[in-house]
Amino acid sequence: MRANNILYTEVFFAPSKFIQNGLDFEEMIDFLVNRIREEKENDGIVIRLLVDVSRSFGPENAMKNLDRVLKLRHPEVIGIGLGGAELMGPARDYQGVFQKAREAGLRVVAHSGEDDGPWAIWEAVELLKAERIGHGTSAIQDPELVKYLRENHIPIEICVTSNVFTGKYVRKEQNHPVRYYYDQGLPLSINTDDPEIFNVNLTYEYYKLWRFLDFSLDEIVDLIRQGVFASFHPNKESLWAEMEKNIHLVKTRYGLKR
């Protein structure tokens, strides 16, 4: 993360398969929290966790995962997300889980519109009250949805490499809807999804925007800014001020302009 000049990140952690294989949730979270604190002490990088309640294992398992999160209440665990195989369960099946999470003060996000149509995103924002949408590639099919996301300031977590790899709606980088979303004024956040699986880092994701989707340097800087303000960081203005200093140093060092 330090090599990519990351100062703050929100990491998705999916515990269900590990629990199924016999690992203890509390022990896993304690281990991750200890590593997060070490990272902050050693490199100054702030990491927060979003626990994937997972639609791949059904609503009952999702509620159990939420209850585990609520039992521990580590400050490093700031919310839940709905990941897993999108076609295995509609968002409406998890309405009770997300309502309970919101009432407990947790942040909520949902992967949606990666393998299913725009109706799935509608459910995520209207029924789950998701604060961000992961992937969201099918939103481009519904102009009213694009308008709704823009007007309600609901960011889309863009994962170009991942979306091309899975290939449901995007077969090559040049066809990714991120260019359209940006031009339409949607709030966006650029992400790696799963850097180990896809062998990517955040810098490479931004490079692809420049290389394949005609994003200028100024637009990429704007996307970095949008990512900061799409986050759940408690002091976004302060974080962005620090990021701006780093961006200025990089641009000066390499003679970058536009």
Q: Which positions are catalytic?
A: 114
Tokens of 48: 């927060």
**3-state DSSP helix/strand/coil % of the chain, to nearest 5:** 55, 15, 30
Q: How far apart are CA 213 and CA 210, in angstroms?
A: 6
E strand residue ranges, the chain: 8-13, 46-52, 77-82, 107-112, 133-135, 156-158, 188-190
Amino acid identity of 165? Answer: F
SS3 of 10, please? strand
SS3 of 68, please? helix
Tokens of 130: 């998701």
Torsion angle (degrees, nearest 10) of CA 16, 200, 177, 98: 20
Q: How far apart are CA 180 and CA 41, in angstroms?
A: 40
